[in-house]
Structure 1
Amino acid sequence: MENLEETSSAYTHILYNYLIDIGLSETLSQYINMFALLTALLITATIIHFLVRRVLIRIFGQFASSSKTNFDDLLVANKVPRNIAHIFPLTIAIKYMPHVFVDFDSFGFFVDKCLKVFAIILILWIIRSLLNTIRDYLKTLPNLRDKPIDSYIQVFMIFAWVAGVLSAFAVITGIPLLKFLTGLGAASAVILLIFKDTILGFVASIQVSINDMVHIGDWITFEKYGADGDVIEISLATVKVQNFDKTITTIPTYALISDSFKNWRGMEGSGGRRIKRSLNITINSVKYLTVEDVKALKKIQLIQSYLDTRERDIDNYNSQHQIDKSLLLNGRNLTNLGVFRKYIDSYLKNHSAINKDMTIMVRQLAPTPQGIPLEIYAFSSDKRWANYEYIMADVFDHMIAAVSYFNLEVFELPSSTNFMKFDNIETETSTKASN
């Protein structure tokens, strides 16, 4: 390369001297000499670029097709060989461009700076291609598919761009890079303000990854941002959630550590999905059961053995304590609400879609102005959303239909139809009274 440079330097003014000898002016000879050298350099750089690119692409292609790993395939897909091929002609251009503009120092100085800035940009392109290749490769590894790889790649890319921009400014201004960085110390507060979200996102990405808070593919609910769906991307600044209505919600990454959200991964990894819903029973419909009522309820198979056992225990207790049963309130008694609660409990334990290895509970909550809430707390075996909703609806359909068999009523606010019926009854009553 040094011999080539010396030869080039020696022959820089051959054409110029020839033109002077044939009588052209000095200025015209300099311009013609410059354009001729520039054309020769561009043609040489183009030929070298073409050859190097063909050779690199062929070598990488053959290596990728013969190797077992897909990393080299990703190198080709992300155009790493193409970008590397640009280095050779650019190096030649930087090295020999001063000889082209040997008679035009100011313009040659400008072109030299432009080429060096372009070299920095080319290095950034290569780094970006390599980082994208590493990102794509890491995403193919089973253990890393749910990790926020994009965040870490973006962090490295930001550092590369910052270093590249600072180097470009140092080249343009002619100030040494170390001195240039020293001067930036005064502007650090402004830089921190500009990159506040990036810094917060970087810190949040690390904490999210270390604490295993969110994976790609997790179902999360973030009420503050209206997000309810699957995480499809975790980047340095944002987290993208595809909601169940197929809309996309973008959440700042640092919001995952500064605000509260719900991750449904635990449910999806467990044996069932929770059913927690109540039915309000009117208080006035709750009553003690008579012997005839118990006899009628024994026809319900799920609670037949329970009623036999309870009736025997209650009768023994009342007999031992000589309870006066002429008044139903005395002694121990069964209530229609208690028997209904036992019936629903037995129904859930015999339901094929309820997970028997997890909590199954029918509980009575504190009375409210809307009645007595009778809550089901159980887990469906099928966690898929549509099937889960079907199972829960099926259970409550049965509950609502079964209430009347126990002489209970479900609380319901009166509708306009109820008021119309009431008005009709009052009208008929007043008409009969007047007659």
Structure 2
Amino acid sequence: MYKILEKIFSWFYPLFKNWGLGVSFASYTSLFVNILILSILSLFIYRFFRFLLVKIMENIAKKTKTKFDDLLISNKTVKYIAYLIPLLFIYKSVPIILKSYDYWEGIFGKMVGIYIILLVLWIIRTVFNALKDHLKSIPKFSDKPIDSYIQVIMIILWIMGVTAIFSEVFEIKIAKLLTTLGAISAIILLIFRDTILGLVASIQVSVNDMVRIGDWITMEKFGADGDVIEINLATVKVQNFDFTTTTIPTYSLISESFKNWRGMQKSDGRRIKRHILIKSSSVRFVGNEEINDLKKIQLIQEYIEKKKFEIDKYNLQNNIDKELSLNGRNLTNLGLFRKYITKYLENHSGLNKDMYLLCRQLQSTSHGIPLEIYTFSKDKNWENYEYIISDIFDHIIASVPYFGLEIFELPSEKKHI
């Protein structure tokens, strides 16, 4: 067998010699044996330290109350650290084993060095992943964009790692390499434009506390209307209320307009701002007979009596001719209806009386007179909030005819038979 291998080596020897690798077969055999021994020792070191580190970490995890060490185990941080130890052993052994083989020493040394750099970056990543999972389990940090912070740090570390790899492969000093990269920064900015925009936007969103995980945001341009479930360097994920998911570029939160409902959720009530359209032709002064009928409405009975007394007193003192209703001061059915709605809202158990509560008349339109309700519900839950609004407007719409008013509606099309 040895003779066969020596014969095969003799065929390739001229090629090795042209490459500057002209060494005898016996030397290469010795080299192979050394590499084999190094591999076996490295495997043994890996197995030993993996077992030792896992056992130590498991014992620590059992004795501590924090979940962070458990997350380090689940993210395989210990396993990757166990890989690093034999790699460092190999890195230190290569110059000794390959002392007489400058060519192979350079290749293997660089390969192991690159692997060590990548492995260190991977270990740091697993530590950050464990830290991210741990912080998200703490209520104080659950709504913070932890993913963005970690991605920013990892980008910086990867840039440093890639720089170190280039320095290792091409044997260039890092300072000189950074100078070269600075010269081609314009190309780098063009290639990584979206990443850089996302990085800047992510920092601004975090520093200015514009969006947190769990916030309800609305962004019509992207069709987003729901809760933020993830914030990372490139995108913000929103789970809409129909359970679809919308992905928004992070930098759009800086360059575009969006609505964040966090302030409402933290306030003492959720705003109700809705109107009905009153047909303007149905608005009129109310006579004494109609006033007597409206006095039967308990919520405004006291108000009508007080207001009627003031109006009659004013008209009498000023000798107002009441044969024409237009003369002097008068009550209108729309004014009494507004007062009734205000009293109704003040007595509604679902509204917050410490916040704005009013019924106001807006600018008239071609469709009628908008009568708007502006108030706040105590319950901010969407389902209950909608129920409160419906309950209020069911009552208001049903109350309109009692005041001789009409709600504006477009005429329906009649079908010709």
* Pairwise same-fold verdict (TM > 0.5): yes
Q: Trace 1:44-55 onto structure 2 (pairs within 5 A).
A: 44-55=41-52
Q: Trace 1:341-380 onto structure 2 (pairs within 5 A).
A: 341-380=338-377
Provide TM-score, normalisation by structure 1: 0.87
Supply the distance in 2 between the matched residues of 1:202 and 1:130 (Cα, whole angstroms). 21
Aligned residues: 400
Structure number with bigger Rg: 1
1:391 counterpart residue number: 388
The aligned amino acid for 1:365 is L
1:278 counterpart residue number: 275
Question: How many Å apart are 1:198 and its aligned residue?
Answer: 2.8
1:86 counterpart residue number: 83
Equivalent residue for 1:296, pick from 293, 296, 304? 293
Q: Deviations over 1:214-237 (max 9, x none)?
A: 211111111222211111112122
SS in 2 for 1:126: helix
Supply the distance in 2 between the matched residues of 1:354 and 1:91 (Cα, whole angstroms). 69
Supply the distance in 1 between the matched residues of 2:103 and 2:197 (Cα, whole angstroms). 45
1:13 counterpart residue number: none
Equivalent residue for 1:247, pick from 244, 248, 254? 244
Q: Deviations over 1:64-98 (max 9, x none)?
A: 11112222222222222111111221122222334
Contact conserved, 1:138 with 1:144, CA < 8 A, in 2?
yes
Contact conserved, 1:282 with 1:370, CA < 8 A, in 2?
yes
Supply the distance in 1 between the matched residues of 2:138 and 2:383 (Cα, whole angstroms). 31
Matched, 1:109 2:89: no
The aligned amino acid for 2:319 is Q
Supply the distance in 2 between the matched residues of 1:84 and 1:63 (Cα, whole angstroms). 16
Structure 2: unaligned runs, 5 residues or longer: 11-22
Matched, 1:314 2:311: yes
Question: How many Å apart are 1:294 and its aligned residue?
Answer: 0.7
Supply the distance in 2 between the matched residues of 1:49 and 1:409 (Cα, whole angstroms). 86
Contact conserved, 1:97 with 1:112, CA < 8 A, in 2?
yes
Which stretch of the first structure deviates more once superposed, 236-245 or 406-415?
236-245
2:64 counterpart residue number: 67
Contact conserved, 1:30 with 1:103, CA < 8 A, in 2?
no
The aligned amino acid for 1:274 is R
Provide TM-score, normalisation by structure 2: 0.90
The aligned amino acid for 1:224 is K
1:431 counterpart residue number: none
The aligned amino acid for 1:361 is L
SS in 2 for 1:279: strand
2:15 counterpart residue number: none
2:38 counterpart residue number: 41
SS in 1 for 2:78: helix
Matched, 1:405 2:408: no
Which stretch of the first structure deviates more once superposed, 71-80 or 290-299?
71-80
Supply the distance in 1 between the matched residues of 2:62 and 2:320 (Cα, whole angstroms). 92
Question: How many Å apart are 1:278 and its aligned residue?
Answer: 0.8
Question: How many Å apart are 1:27 and its aligned residue?
Answer: 4.3
Matched, 1:127 2:124: yes
1:220 counterpart residue number: 217
Q: Deviations over 1:308-356 (max 9, x none)?
A: 1111111111121222111111111111111111111111111111111
Question: How many Å apart are 1:284 and its aligned residue?
Answer: 0.7
Question: How many Å apart are 1:250 and its aligned residue?
Answer: 1.6
Q: Deviations over 1:410-432 (max 9, x none)?
A: 00001113xx5xx89xxxxxxxx
Supply the distance in 1 between the matched residues of 2:227 and 2:192 (Cα, whole angstroms). 28
Equivalent residue for 2:262, pick from 258, 261, 265? 265
Supply the distance in 1 between the matched residues of 2:196 and 2:283 (Cα, whole angstroms). 62
Supply the distance in 2 between the matched residues of 1:329 and 1:92 (Cα, whole angstroms). 104
SS in 2 for 1:288: coil
Matched, 1:338 2:335: yes
SS in 1 for 2:276: strand
Supply the distance in 2 between the matched residues of 1:299 and 1:185 (Cα, whole angstroms). 85
Q: Deviations over 1:252-281 (max 9, x none)?
A: 222222222111111111111111111101
The aligned amino acid for 2:262 is R
What's the % identity of the aligned pairs?
Answer: 56
2:174 counterpart residue number: 177
Supply the distance in 2 between the matched residues of 1:174 and 1:203 (Cα, whole angstroms). 33
Contact conserved, 1:353 with 1:380, CA < 8 A, in 2?
yes
Supply the distance in 1 between the matched residues of 2:169 and 2:204 (Cα, whole angstroms). 39
The aligned amino acid for 1:231 is V
Contact conserved, 1:146 with 1:215, CA < 8 A, in 2?
yes
Supply the distance in 1 between the matched residues of 2:328 and 2:282 (Cα, whole angstroms). 21
Supply the distance in 2 between the matched residues of 1:177 and 1:375 (Cα, whole angstroms). 69
Supply the distance in 1 between the matched residues of 2:390 and 2:65 (Cα, whole angstroms). 52
Question: How many Å apart are 1:105 and its aligned residue?
Answer: 4.1
Equivalent residue for 1:164, pick from 161, 165, 190? 161
Supply the distance in 1 between the matched residues of 2:319 and 2:294 (Cα, whole angstroms). 26
Supply the distance in 1 between the matched residues of 2:159 and 2:307 (Cα, whole angstroms). 79
The aligned amino acid for 1:166 is T
Q: Trace 1:419-430 onto structure 2 (pairs within 5 A).
A: none
